[in-house]
């Protein structure tokens, strides 16, 4: 009798253990348990932890509440400006209502994926290529709203949508590369021209300052020599500015102009120092001046009359026959003529 009682207790314990093992469920922290009793929703979802259901009567289905990362396959489309592109995206979503996620839609993951692909193709057709490449934030917001609208009734919340990649045809890539290269070259030329303009203004100001002091050109030349020689080159190419040549030419012309009056004064003083008999001989030998006396321009000096009896026996013209200095309009390239000399002695027939 006792053995039968022990056997019955052992049997009941085994049955209870099997029942508890069949009825006990553990729901994880990131999950929620939805219980269906004979196919009908039973109450609210079970919270995380240990829970018990009726075996063979209730069915517990767990729903993950974590954020799901769902990649969207690349979708080919034609943009509004007739460019064929291929766009990839990714969707981040999570379940906020486990019961609706199981009841309202058969497979909420597949539903969200298909809705994302359709919305992405629609966004491609409504956007330009420049928007897909540079204004993605606005497109992401529009794509998120398009997917989130039907997903709310499914107990799913779209957390974020990102356009991952935009693939272009090779011909379009080459065209865009040429366009970018041309634009950069244009900007480089504009910047270079602007720099040349600013440099020309500064050089004009420097030239104005140097023109006031011609010696500054020589100093600038020496600075250039120092800068070139600092490279330790075996051959030195020395630039010689034209302005320096002009400065030297002006200096030479000024020196010749200043020496002409000095030579005239020296000749006059020598004539005054001649003896008195030479002067009387000049007076006797000199005939009356002709009506027209040929004059020869002297470069940088005075004009002296040339004709018969126009020189003294000593070959020097008397001081009273020296004329005024030559006018400034006499060409500078005319060589000075040679003076004509009278014979050493003059005789008269009585």
The answer to whether residues 49 and 27 touch, using CB atoms and an 8 Å cutoff, is: yes
Structure tokens at 60: 């517990």
- In eight-state DSSP terms, residue 32 is E
- Among residues 64, 152, 32, the alpha carbon closest in space to that of 104 is found at 152
- In eight-state DSSP terms, residue 336 is P
Q: What is the pLDDT of residue 261?
A: 60
Q: Beta partners for 87?
A: 75, 166
Q: What is the pLDDT of residue 130?
A: 84
pLDDT tens digits along 39-85: 888 888 999 998 888 888 888 999 999 999 999 988 888 888 888 89
pLDDT tens digits along 142-195: 888 888 888 888 889 998 999 888 888 888 888 888 988 999 999 999 999 999
- In eight-state DSSP terms, residue 320 is G
């Amino acid at each position: 009798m006792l053995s039968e009682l022990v056997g019955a207790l052992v049997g009941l314990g085994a049955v209870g253990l099997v029942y508890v093992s069949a009825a006990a469920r553990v729901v994880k922290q990131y999950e929620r348990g939805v219980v269906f009793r004979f196919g009908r929703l039973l109450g609210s979802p079970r919270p995380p932890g240990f829970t018990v259901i009726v075996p063979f009567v209730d069915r517990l289905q767990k729903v993950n509440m974590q954020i799901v990362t769902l990649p969207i396959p690349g979708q080919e489309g034609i943009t509004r400006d007739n460019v064929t592109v291929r766009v990839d995206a990714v969707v981040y979503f999570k379940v906020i209502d486990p019961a609706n996620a199981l009841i309202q839609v058969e497979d909420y993951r597949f539903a969200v994926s298909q809705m994302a692909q359709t919305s992405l193709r629609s966004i491609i057709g409504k956007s330009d290529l420049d928007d897909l490449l540079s204004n993605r934030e606005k497109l992401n917001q529009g794509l998120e709203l398009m997917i989130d609208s039907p997903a709310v009734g499914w107990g799913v919340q779209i957390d974020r949508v990102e356009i991952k990649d935009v693939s272009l045809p090779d011909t379009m890539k080459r065209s865009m590369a040429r366009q970018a290269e041309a634009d950069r070259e244009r900007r480089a030329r504009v910047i270079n021209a602007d720099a040349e303009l600013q440099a020309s203004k500064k050089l004009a100001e420097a030239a104005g300052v140097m023109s006031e002091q011609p010696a500054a050109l020589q100093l600038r030349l020496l600075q250039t020599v120092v800068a070139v020689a600092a490279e330790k080159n075996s051959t030195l190419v020395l630039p010689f500015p034209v302005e320096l040549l002009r400065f030297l030419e002006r200096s030479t012309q000024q020196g010749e102009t200043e020496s002409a009056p000095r030579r005239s004064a020296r000749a006059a003083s020598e004539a005054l120092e001649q003896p008195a008999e030479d002067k009387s001989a000049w007076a006797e030998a000199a005939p009356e001046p002709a009506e027209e006396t040929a004059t020869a321009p002297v470069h940088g000096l005075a004009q002296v009359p040339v004709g018969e009896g126009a020189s003294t026996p000593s070959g020097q013209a008397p001081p009273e026959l020296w004329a005024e200095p030559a006018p400034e309009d006499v060409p500078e390239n005319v060589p000075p003529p040679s003076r004509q000399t009278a014979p050493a002695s003059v005789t008269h027939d009585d």
